[in-house]
Amino acid sequence: MLAVRRRLAAAPLLLRNLATKVLQDLQENEALTPNTVGPYMSERLEDYTPDRIRNFSIVAHIDHGKSTLADRLLETSGNISRQERESAQFLDTLQVERERGITVKAQTASMVHFDVQTNKTFMLNLVDTPGHVDFSYEVNRSLSACEGVLLLVDCSQGIQAQTLATYYAAKERHLAIVPILTKIDMPHAQIDESILNLSSLLNIDPDDVLLTSAKSGDGIEKILPAIVQRLPPPVQCHRQAPLRCLLVDSFYDDYRGTVCLIKIVDGTLRPGDVISSAYYHTKHEVQETGVLLPRRFETSELYAGQVGYMIAGMKTTTDAKMGDTFFLYETIKSTTLTPLTGFQEARSMVFASMYPTDDSSFDELRVAVEKLVMNDASVTIVQETSGALGMGFRCGFLGLLHMEVFHQRLSDEQGIQVMVTAPMVPYRIMDSKKVQRTVETPGAFPASTKEFDIFEPMVEASILTPSSYLGPVLALANDKRGIQTNLVYLEDTRVLVTVHLPWQEVVTNFYNELKTISSGYATLNYFEIAPQKSDIVKVDVMLNGKVLDALSFVCHRSRATLSGRQLCQKLKRVIDRQQFEISIQAALGGKIFAKERIPPFRKDVLIKSGKTVGGGDSTRKKKLLAKQKQGKRRMRTVSNVQLSQDAFWSVLSK
């Protein structure tokens, strides 16, 4: 700063006057702290025209350092302190995120950066993204609000399966890409090899790759200038046009209701404006607008091209739809406005039922589920009733991890304990009249499939594995009924295998098995393809002769017998013994093919007070034993078997 002042003192008067404002902004920007960045940005919000805005996401394979880099950028721009960055991933706000070390929910943060090359202050809006493939819906939502991305590659691991997937997702949206190698300070970092792979596989110029370490801070100072210089500003944004804003995300606040993350495309949004949505046509008055730092900071308006939040008194899921467009209510009647093209609606790929552990707590479960759905629009819910478990919800998820995270959030954030049934994928059933319907529960699946054609969902899986593990990986894919469609050697030591797999096989422990046989080195990415006709059957599980729909499952006929027997054995281990005998059976098409027996607790009725009843009279002994047997039979008829959550998860791990 002293050198800049000396040069200004020697410059002509006109240049000094022109540079004064820039120098003041630079001084203030250098001194920005978590307490001053909000007011600084708010006072100059109108100055951030679309050409001085950059909206970007950080995309990468899971565990390649996205959250750590995001925290380092927030510290560099003054949004958070060094202590906050060092304590934990600042954008990972959910307890489940910090426990599992993954990003689940996309977060947003607006930063201020003074660019020396242009002598202008820019607003940089970071939209964080999850890394796991189950949360690809969150990634797509984030990309819809951006004009560019930072593509991270861990140089100690190289390009992984999801690196390729996120790269192509960004290219499909014609987003600008800044490639970044992270973790260059690692002892086993392969910097040169990673740069060559980026060049050969993704056609990236080696000179464009930034070398960084978010942990040590090396190279971080180059990222913000690169965002300004190499990413484009928002296009086709007009402040004077009628309001159009895209609903990118939402989260629930216990005191304010739904907080909507929005991108202003046209016009200006202010508190007091009355808005309406293009999809639901609901009418709301805006109570508050602001930016996320990532803490909420209230502002008096939001302008075209900017990303921020609004609070408009929305209380339920029917008030807002992800990807919806909001207009000013008064302009809808007088002007024909075109809704913005948002993103594709999430399609549930795994279904499971959730029931309260106590029937009286169903209303509490309903409130808790609705709150989480407001925070995660990719979850679908339908109320249902089970003869064995009572009232509950049939929930649709993007994948198995998505389901586990939702279950954990119910416990962590809402304090609700639930029983979760085994997951099932949606099957398409076509009868002899060519009428199709989708089945999402075992109870709705036909007992006999002779008169139906069953189509199971399929995915195209990309598996990136070291070549030394290629044999076991191909064997696993074959065991899961996979069909290999392509095999490419990316280099001498790594192979990219493309396989068509039934989705049901993927959700039943495929990822864990893949990691096990490859010593953790193989990575997986997948996307949905056209369903395929298959021989799918329903296996009924019975306890004491009664079919329990919550434990019945659907699988390929070739696996029905083995899976049914294994399930009966697992249930025998997890169901507690009762005062009566428990019979566990598995049936296919009404024919029982597997059975396990849990013997009852037995009291010795021939002994009373340490003495033998009836002395040596055998008739008396037979009467006592017959009476006990009759009582056991009556107890078995009127009693219910107590099932724990372990019983349901034993189906999941079959």
How far is residue 584's CA from residue 562's CA, in Å, rounded to a whole number? 15
Residue 264 annotated as binding? no
Residue 320 annotated as binding? no
Rounded to a whole number, what is the largest CA-CA distance in the chain?
Answer: 125
Task: Give the count of beta carbons closer than 10 Å to the beta carbon of residue 630.
Answer: 10
Task: Give the count of beta carbons closer than 10 Å to the beta carbon of residue 27.
Answer: 12
Rg (CA), the chain: 30
Residue 387 annotated as binding? no
First-to-last CA distance in the chain? 66
**Residue 474 contacts by C-beta under 8 Å, 6 or more apart in sequence?**
484, 497
C-alpha angle 140-509-354 in degrees, rounded to nearest 5: 75
**Residue 611 contacts by C-beta under 8 Å, 6 or more apart in sequence?**
none
Residue 615 annotated as binding? no
Residue 129 annotated as binding? yes
DSSP 8-state code for residue 588: E
Residue 66 annotated as binding? yes
Residue 271 annotated as binding? no
How far is residue 317's CA from residue 381's CA, in Å, rounded to a whole number? 11
Burial of 549 (0-12, 13-18, 19+ CB in 10 A): middle
Residue 475 annotated as binding? no
Backbone angles phi, psi at 649, to 5 degrees: -75, -15
Residue 67 annotated as binding? yes
Residue 468 annotated as binding? no
How far is residue 532's CA from residue 457's CA, in Å, rounded to a whole number? 7
Residue 284 annotated as binding? no
How far is residue 507's CA from residue 496's CA, in Å, rounded to a whole number? 21
Residue 183 annotated as binding? yes
Which sign, positive or negative, has the C-alpha torsion 238, 242, 246, 247? positive
Instruction: Cite the DSSP H helix spans in 530-610.
Output: 557-574
Residue 65 annotated as binding? yes
Check whether the bond before 356 is cis (ω within 30° of 0).
no
The label of the residue with tokens 């296919």 reads 588
C-alpha angle 258-259-260 in degrees, rounded to nearest 5: 110
Residue 238 annotated as binding? no
Residue 399 annotated as binding? no
Bind-site residues for GTP: 60-67, 128-132, 182-185
Q: Which residues are annotated as a binding site?
A: 60-67, 128-132, 182-185
